[in-house]
Structure 1
Amino acid sequence: MNNQTTAAADIDIIDYAPQYQPDFRRLNEEWITRYFELEPADHITLGDPQTHILDPGGFILLARAQGSIVGTGALLYNPDGNWKLAKMAVTDQMQGRGIGYTLCKAILDRARTMGVKRVELVSNRTLLPALHVYGKLGFREIPLGTVMYKRGDIKMAVDL
């Protein structure tokens, strides 16, 4: 893959299938362990996305460049009735090319077609590129409340 010329225009957004579970895990473990540490909830979700994301009604999208999976993101349905953007990741060497924005926009577009009215996310204030993408897509900070991850220190939401 020629990383110098691959841009968001060269990316295919595809639906998750079980054969992509190792990519889903790899991409998320890559970014989490670079900045933070894997937590018990990460191991649960990354180890069994079928049970914890897909079965409750959510979905996972993947970004593919020249046959390689280079990004991922998910929309989860929480028992509290809220939809949550989660597990957003773009591999290090492909960051800065608009892939995260393209992936996140595709997730929000799919959520709209499902009738989802609001999407929330939890992130960390040190992840400035991610927060910039979320802001461009209309997410605004809301009160943090109780969060599942130690690394979560900002909560955002967008009304669709």
Structure 2
Amino acid sequence: MAPNAHEAKMAHPRMAAGALFFDAAGRVLMVEPSYKDYWEIPGGYVETGESPLHAAIREVQEELGITPPIGRLLAVDWAPNEAEGDKVLYLFDGGQLSQDDLAAITLQPEELKSFAFVSSEEIVERTIPRLARRILAAAEARNEAAPVYLEHGQKPGSEAA
């Protein structure tokens, strides 16, 4: 096989990375974008030459104005999108935010309207099913102290909800 033909078959996925932050009750911090009709988690696309972890740290700083320590990988989700092609999404553990971090949050005004800590039930209500599955699986992986591999927000072989 010619090198160009082989390379043409290789996936060139878009990568995105985000962080899950928790409060003392175990609720997840979500943000309300001004440009979407559903809530998200802090994060965004990985730039060329940037690691997924660094992208998560940068996006949290850009979106929330804080630089808390970002911990271990919680989940990797392969989630191809018809419009955008192959996507691989990384979720990292932001841990429990301190009172100082919470007080220092300054939302990126051109992108975000608000933020809130939300329960598992509220996550499902506030966002799209694929993202809700990804967040809930990552939160579960945090409790199990082991990262999880997902496809479309689900463990391979599990039935679609």
Q: TM-score, normalised by structure 2?
A: 0.25
Q: Which has the higher helix share?
A: 1
Q: TM-score, normalised by structure 1?
A: 0.25
Give 1 or 2 for the bigger CA radius of gyration: 2
